[in-house]
Amino acid sequence: MLKHFKSQSLRKQISAAGILGIVITVILSIISIFSYKSLKNTQEQEAKQYLNEVVSQYRNAIDIKIDGNLQTLRALSTFIEKSGDIGLVQILEQLRAESRQNDFLRMGYIMSDGTGYFIDTDGTEHYDIDVGDESFIQRALTGEDTVSDTLTDIFSGETVNCYSVPVYLDGAVTGALTATTSSTAFSSIIEQKLFGGNAYTHIIRSNGDYVVRSSHAVIQKDIKNIFDDGKVSPEDRAYIEKSAKSGQSSFSTFEYKNEKYWTTIFPIGINDWNLFCVVPQDYLSENFGTLMTVFIVIMLCITALFSVLFLYIYHIIKRSRQEITKLAYTDVLTGSDNRNKFILEMQRLLSDNRNYAMVLLNINGFKFVNEFYGYEAGNMLLKHIATVLADNIGEQELCYRDNADQFGMLLRCRRKKELAERLRSIQEQIHKFRLSRNQDYHILCNFGVMIIDEGSKSAVNTDFDTVMNGALLALESVKGNEMDSIAFYDRHLHEKAARKTEIENRMWNAVENHEFIMYLQPKFSLKTGLLHSAEALVRWQPGDGKMIYPDEFIPIFEQNGFITKLDMYMLEEACRCLADWDKRGFPAVPIAVNQSRIFFYDTEYLNKLEEIVRFYAVNPSLIILEVTETVAMNNLEQIKTVIARLHSMGFKVSMDDFGSGYSSLNTLRELHVDEIKLDREFLSFQTESGRDEAIIRNVIHLANDLSASTVAEGIETEQQLEFLKSLSCDIGQGYYFCRPVPAADFFRAVAKLK
């Protein structure tokens, strides 16, 4: 009986244990299923959030790219409109100047009848091209700013995107401006590797056609539409098309070749363009197998594995958030904070304390480093700089990498002197980096600084853009400067930038109104003391009577390309003066006119010269064309050919500022010039030094052996004059003889010297 009772009790215990085990198994299964679905949903939401953040950044980058290009064209269109009824020649001249300041492949002007005139960045010109059938041109001619779909360039065969804006005159559209960029400008934005290279982003239309696709893709590259191979289910296709056409961002599943993906559709807001980003579900769900194993172990070890499960889930979520945060706020190459993280932290720090300085750092000649030493060395340099900056910032300070070779820092600042010493220390640490074992390259960094302090009236409303613009303006003022590499933003820089803008706004009208006045400075033979020739110098005399001197506007004109317009204007003024002298019976005195080296790459330059001298009936031998030795920096054979043509036309060529560069002797060997003007710095030598005298004497003798006259400018004392005479210098000019005078007073001023 007892044995039977124990058997029944055992069976009951076994049954109870079995039932309990089944209950526990069911409960754990339910918990496992629930946990699995919850985690999957969490992963989906994280993926959705991350994809939306990344794609949103792509869209912002594309918007900035498009808006920047359109803004450039709008500014040029506004300038043309304000200039009044200017001709096609002036418009194309402006396009040539503008094309040298941006990264367009070409720029063009479209007449109202659809006829286009285009100028490539390298100077190639395409005239009378019928583009009236292009839809984006038609829309621009109706008054709409447009961006084309990806097209095949009719000139180069490359895939490009075109921008176009209307040009107005008296409120009516008279034409359109266009600019062409390579489609790689967009593909480079969307080709960043996401999720270890397992995610792919493209630009598509709402019907599934590709506009721009990244170089790595799930769908075969020969397929032009994401639905073309027929492997996308009708339901997925309907949903994707509906999402794209709705203009709203969406997140869904997508199946291709029996593999499932998460996909997000994000409208760009132009030309029915949408960002289409996909990532394999398996990649985001790769941890689920491990989780299921954990759940099985939980069923065997209830107490321990419940704890492990919750800890593991917490770890996964935390790690996912950390990865997303890292991708969103970290520079991939250097590991430094990126611009997004910097802005957030900067706002937090400035809300408590404004005794800071915004510092921008730029590497001088970084493009040379990449080209000469290789991109790997360039990347190592960037990493080194990031490490130096990180080592030199303290508590409550920030540093970040912006883009390319530009870095930024937010440093505590009480005194400018202390900050400057700190930046020089950072410069020295950066300089210690060696790009190569066998070669020592001097790494120069420039710093632009804007001080943010409590006492500044503008500090209350200081935002990132304001601070950044101030530091950037300071950086631009010293970019490439090896002697003084640190600049602080101040009122002077602001006024200088404003003055530059003012000069650029007035320069075209100044030409039309003949505000540029030609002054002449006589040059005398040092052997006979007689008048030899004159040099044309420009002065800007605006209508308000306030003289603007060349040292203020010439550097600006050289930077924006207007110098070519001014040089041609002065050449014409010189020819007009020579023609007037001839009519009035004055002696024929040759006039030297500066010419930009840009002219020597202009296929129409020689024709323009011939046209001007023929119009004024001037003997070309009376015109001396002055060029600097930097004219031969690029295509030496081209320069030699042009100089030979100039000689055959009767012009004389003078090399100005000889000795100011580093390749003077090589330049003399290759270029046949009629005259060599010694740089005025030669006369700053201490002539009693035997070494200095030997240098000047041999330069003069070298010029004589090459059958070239020598001209010394900047003679101010009798001692300098006698010194040059003793060395057999041919021609001299300077304040010792006569200051520059208006062309109308030239012979009167020369007569007084006798």
Spell out a b/e string for 526-550, using b for 16 or more CB atoms within 10 Å of the CB, else e: beeeebbbbbbbbebbeeeeeebee
- Considering only 20-24, 207-211, 676-680, 712-716, which range has the smallest mean pLDDT? 20-24
Count Cβ atoms within 10 A of the Cβ of residue 661 and give its class: 0-12 exposed, 13-18 middle, 19 or more buried.
middle
CA-based end-to-end distance of the chain: 153
Mean pLDDT of 71-75: 88
Nearest alpha carbon to residue 570 among 518, 521, 607: 518
> Between residues 189 and 193, which one has the greater pLDDT?
189
pLDDT above 50 (res 459): no
State the pairing for strand pair 741-742/516-525.
antiparallel
- Cα angle at 418 between 417 and 420, to 5 degrees? 65
| Separation CA 458–CA 460 (nearest Å) | 6
pLDDT above 50 (res 669): yes
> Between residues 711 and 206, which one has the greater pLDDT?
711
What distances in angstroms separate CA 712 from CA 354, 522, 584, 732, one per listed residue? Answer: 55, 12, 31, 5
- Considering only 536-545, 564-573, 583-592, 630-639, which range has the smallest mean pLDDT? 630-639
- Considering only 54-58, 347-351, 622-626, which range has the smallest mean pLDDT? 54-58
What distances in angstroms separate CA 604 from CA 124, 548, 609, one per listed residue? Answer: 12, 31, 9
Amino acid at position 314, single letter: Y
**Are 190 and 201 contacting, i.e. CB atoms less than 8 angstroms apart?**
yes
pLDDT above 60 (res 11): no
Provide, rounded to the nearest whole percent, the portion of the chain with pLDDT above 70: 82
pLDDT above 80 (res 54): no
Q: 214-245: per-residue pLDDT in tens?
A: 766 666 666 777 777 655 667 777 777 777 77
Q: 323-374: per-residue pLDDT in tens?
A: 676 677 888 888 889 888 998 888 888 877 778 999 999 988 788 788 778 8
Q: Which residues touch 23 (CB under 8 Å, ≥6 apart)?
A: none
Task: Return the pLDDT at 205.
Answer: 81
Could you tell me the two tokens for 235? 């339901």
Nearest alpha carbon to residue 396 among 352, 362, 462, 457: 352
| Separation CA 531–CA 600 (nearest Å) | 30
Task: Return the pLDDT at 634.
Answer: 63
Q: Give the dihedral of Cα atoms 608, 613, 617, 619; nearest 10 deg.
A: -150
**Helix (H) or strand (E) segment spanning residue 707:** none
pLDDT above 70 (res 524): yes
pLDDT band for 6, please (50, 70, 90 cuts).
very low
| Separation CA 435–CA 375 (nearest Å) | 11
pTM attached to this predicted model: 0.49
Amino acid at position 94, single letter: Q
Mean pLDDT of 393-415: 89
Could you tell me the two tokens for 721? 């004059």
**Are 361 and 406 contacting, i.e. CB atoms less than 8 angstroms apart?**
yes
Amino acid at position 714, single letter: G
**Helix (H) or strand (E) segment spanning residue 701:** helix 690-705
